[in-house]
Amino acid sequence: MKKPILLLHFLLLFQIFLNAQDSIISRDFFVDPPTFRSLAFRWIIEGDENLNSTVLVQYRKKDTMDWKFAMPLTRIDGDVVDREYGPFKTGNLFSGSILELEPATLYEVQLRLSESGRTYEEKTVEVSTRTPDENFKPKKVLQLYPENYPGEIIEPSYTDLNDILYKLTGGTLVIIHPGTYYGTYEFLIGGSRNNPIILRGSPEGEAIFDGKGTDGKIFDVSGKSYIHFENITIRNGYTGIKGNDADGIVVKNCTIFDVHYGIISFTKTKNWVIANNHIMGGVDDWSDRDRVKDKFGTCTGVIVDGIGHVVCYNTVHDFWDCVTISNLEEPEPWYEPHNMCIDFYNNDLYNAADDCIETDFSYYNVRVWNNELTNSHVGISTQPVYGGPVYIFRNAVYNVKIPLKLHNWPSGLLIFNNTFVGSERAFWSDPIWQNAKIMNNLFLGASSYTVATGSPDERTILDYNGYYRIPGQENMFKWSTDNRKTWFRMSNLSEFFNKTGQEEHGCMVDYNIFCDIEMPIEGTTYDPSKIDLSLSGKGNAINAGVYIPNIADDFKGAAPDLGCYEYGDPPLHYGQYENFVY
């Protein structure tokens, strides 16, 4: 089947066809902040109460010929989110992203708002992805040495970072030579986008900042922006780096350990880059959640808050949560979004007593892809999402009790081509989520129902997924559309489709679809480096998916394969590595 035909089939799955006509009024159109790999858009409208309008998206590099399709923008239409704890009504708009683009590249994008074949308005914009800050030329260079440094000393030189904090104007590069520096540091001055302040470890050896057991922050950049931390080790304190109200913070190629929090911000910030770091917590047995909560509390590797952040190629482990978005006490209105345009990709996250990745309290265009998640209570959490979309695709998830936590009425979930291997049920969550598209995934569990959840929303689609039946389990599916008042229990895919309308094209799979993976044993700690969820070529996962533009563009056979890998593709690199590029 050719891609144009597959594309048509995909669009038909997404479109809700109703006979009634409904006028549409185009209002504000936003090009939201780009990241290195993603572009994002919002289009606010009025009308369209019958939800049969679409926004189709095409894109190409500037000055090239061929247009490519991205996914249509997601329709957001006044859903009430977080109904039990803090009801929040979303707006009337479209929102969406173009994914996996090249950094520092100018693209042409065409967006067409239409309904039932009638075009209401077209937009053509030129937008560039963000440029990594790799070509910085310092205006001033300072040298930091430990006391009694045995080698040659270059002037101007210092032995205590606190002695030069007032000298760190924009454009200053501090070369930090090998050794251990004791203390805590509160920055007095920040840099700018084109002239940041950079603390960079020398290639001669490890530069260590030891907080001497402080119950505060080792580095505090709150209120100061465009400060970079590169190639250094941070240890022995409550918080490694904290940056409330700080934009443009970069933490790259660093090691952070012996901390309660690694890198955190709790107020709206912009354009942080947390890349290629190794962040280690102190949790010694992730599977004993009660003990971890009592002993360590909610210790976390990375917490970001705000707009435009990139968290990529990090190795984060042995925390309560590995990587999260900051929780909101009081959500802002839908037209003043808080957490949006955030990318999490190619991270290696493991040994989490609670969640590997939290996208909780997201508004629009949060993207989670190509991550490896191993040994945790929850894989990816979405409680709640204020309209979305949150993109969750091509993640490799193994030995997780709750692979997907869809809770507190999140709305706007796009979950494609993931491999979920659960240590209990493969897919279970309270049946209180809405406006979700879940396709091309693999769901394999180790006990009880394969699926135990549900959605009351007719826009929700489950289809083209692969499921494993637990040996001896009578019923595979437990599904509710009325918030647990009524449960349907079904023994097979055919019955599931007949009773719910879901999974018309689903299939059954077994563990033999993988090259060398066994059913996980709950509570066991597995070595992430030895987990390979590549397909073996056996079973029903090959060519069993549906084409999804911008997600499954590179499939090799008649149709995309299920799960996070196409058959024959080598495993991806997850986590920190040498010669890092964005």
For the domain that residue 74 is a member of, what is the CATH number? Answer: 2.60.40.10
**pLDDT at res. 392:** 98
Q: Is residue 538 part of a domain?
A: no
Residue 18: the pLDDT is 39
Residues 46 and 144 in one domain: no
Q: Is the pLDDT of residue 524 over 90?
A: yes
Domain C-terminal end among 530, 552, 567:
530
Q: Are residues 231 and 150 in the same domain?
A: yes
Do both 94 and 149 map to the same domain?
A: no
Q: How far apart are CA 79 and CA 77, in angstroms?
A: 6
The verdict on residue 499 lying in a domain is yes
pLDDT tens-place string over residues 229-265 = 999 999 999 999 999 999 999 999 999 999 999 999 9
- What percentage of the chain carries pLDDT values higher than 70? 96
For residue 419, the enclosing domain spans 140-530
Angle (CA) 461-85-246 rounded to 5° is 90
Same domain, 323 and 378: yes
Does 241 map to a domain? Answer: yes
Pair 57, 122 in one domain = yes
Confidence (pLDDT) at 20: 41
Residues 393-420 pLDDT 10s = 999 999 999 999 999 999 999 999 999 9
Does position 46 have pLDDT exceeding 80, yes or no? yes
* Confidence (pLDDT) at 275: 98
- Final residue of a structural domain among 128, 152, 177: 128
515 Cβ partners below 8 Å, 6+ apart?
Answer: 532, 534, 535, 536
User: Can you give the pLDDT at residue 137?
Assistant: 87
Each residue's pLDDT tens digit, 94-137: 999 999 999 999 999 999 999 887 889 999 999 999 999 777 88
Mean pLDDT value of segment 171-180: 97
Shared domain for 26 and 173, answered yes or no, is no
Strand partners, 315: 278, 348
Asked whether residue 17 carries a pLDDT value surpassing 50, the answer given is no
Q: What is the mean pLDDT of the chain?
A: 94
Same domain, 84 and 172: no
CA distances from 101 to 42, 59, 98, 106 (A): 18, 10, 7, 10
At 346, is the pLDDT very low, low, confident or very high (cuts 50, 70, 90)? very high
**In this structure, is residue 541 part of a structural domain?**
no
Q: Are residues 305 and 221 in the same domain?
A: yes
Q: Is residue 363 part of a domain?
A: yes
> 505, 464 in Cβ contact below 8 A?
yes
Cβ atoms of 229 and 201 within 8 Å: the answer is no
The per-residue pLDDT for 118 is 86
Which band of pLDDT confidence, cut at 50, 70 and 90, is reported for residue 10? Answer: low
pLDDT in tens, 194-205: 999 999 999 999
In a domain, 513, yes or no: yes
What b/e sequence results for 474-513 when a residue is b if at least 16 CB atoms lie within 10 Å of its CB, and e otherwise?
A: ebbbbbbbeeeeeeeebeebeebbeebebbeebbebeeeb
User: Per-residue pLDDT tens for 424-477?
Assistant: 999 999 999 999 999 999 999 999 899 999 999 999 999 999 999 999 889 999
pLDDT of residue 580: 84
What pTM value is reported for the model? 0.95
**Average pLDDT, stretch 484-512?**
96
Which of 500, 530, 560 terminates a domain? The answer is: 530
Asked if residue 338 lies in contact with residue 362, where contact means CB atoms within 8 angstroms, the answer is no
- The predicted pLDDT at position 16 comes to 41
Residues 106 and 237 placed together within one structural domain of the fold:
no
Residues 196 and 123 occupy one common structural domain: no
Specify the 3-state DSSP secondary structure of 289: helix
The two tokens of residue 306 are 């705000």
Contact predicate 386/320, CB 8 Å: no
Residue 436 forms part of a structural domain: yes
Residues 336 and 236 in one domain: yes
CATH number of 454's domain = 2.160.20.10
Does some domain include residue 536?
Answer: no
Q: What's the rounded Cα separation, in Å, for the pair 193 and 66?
A: 34
Which pLDDT belongs to residue 330?
85
What is the secondary structure of 425-491 as a DSSP string? -SEE--S--EEEEEES-EEE-SSS-SEEE----TT-EEES-EE-PPTT-S--EEE-SSTTSS-EEES
Are 406 and 360 part of one and the same domain? yes
DSSP state of 535: B
Q: Is the pLDDT of residue 13 over 70?
A: no
Query: How many domains does the chain fold into?
Result: 2
